[in-house]
Structure 1
Amino acid sequence: MSFDQAVEQVKNLKETPSDNDLLELYGYYKQATMGDCNTAKPGFLDFKGKAKWESWNGKKGIDTDKAKTQYVELVNKLVERIGLKD
């Protein structure tokens, strides 16, 4: 499965993945499409923004091809565990 196919498959999962899985997907997606995190860390009270930033920043140094591979692998696991909409 290609990266673009994996991005589309996430939209067709039967259920919403766990918050941890969503954060991992976000981090790998941003690293694959934007490279290393280049934005300031959100403020203390922006819990969602901070979690997303930390996920992306935690992938710093992973090259874009590796990040795409990791994203596809995670999507494959989610498809196996959750399944796709009919």
Structure 2
Amino acid sequence: MSTQTLEEAVALTKKFTEKPSNEELLKLYGLYKQATEGDNLTERPGGFDFKAAAKYNAWLNFKGLSKVESENQYCQLADELASKYI
């Protein structure tokens, strides 16, 4: 488990010198939204807005996960990605 805060983990991701894969970015996004807002109760985006749909689904993947657990997983993922992208 990471000892950093969510804000520190977000700052860490901004230091990446290479862009993570779309899959990694979507996982970060989903965990961040779950940690900061809880379950995704928004309306599903239209069928042709693929980027919005991917983000919607990424957040939906963490439905039911507590804000604290989401934050812990985000921090852990940020640490793992930092070892690859910094």
**TM-score normalised by the chain length of structure 1:** 0.94
Identity fraction in percent: 40
| Residue in 2 that maps onto 1:21 | 24
Calculate the aligned-residue CA RMSD, in Å. 0.6
| Residue in 2 that maps onto 1:9 | 12
Q: Letter of the aligned partner of 2:62 in structure 1? A: K
From 47, 51, 55, the equivalent of 2:54 is 51
Q: Letter of the aligned partner of 1:5 in structure 2? A: E
1:64 is aligned to 2:70: no
The whole-number CA distance in structure 1 between the counterparts of 2:72 and 2:8 is 12
Question: What does residue range 67-78 of structure 1 map to in structure 2 within 5 Å?
Answer: 67-78=70-81
Give the 4+ runs in structure 1 shifted more than 2 A: none
Q: Letter of the aligned partner of 2:78 in structure 1? A: V
| Residue in 2 that maps onto 1:39 | 42
Question: Any unmatched runs of 5+ in structure 2?
Answer: none
Matched pairs, number: 83
TM superposition shift of 1:72? 0.4
Question: Any unmatched runs of 5+ in structure 1?
Answer: none
The whole-number CA distance in structure 1 between the counterparts of 2:71 and 2:29 is 11
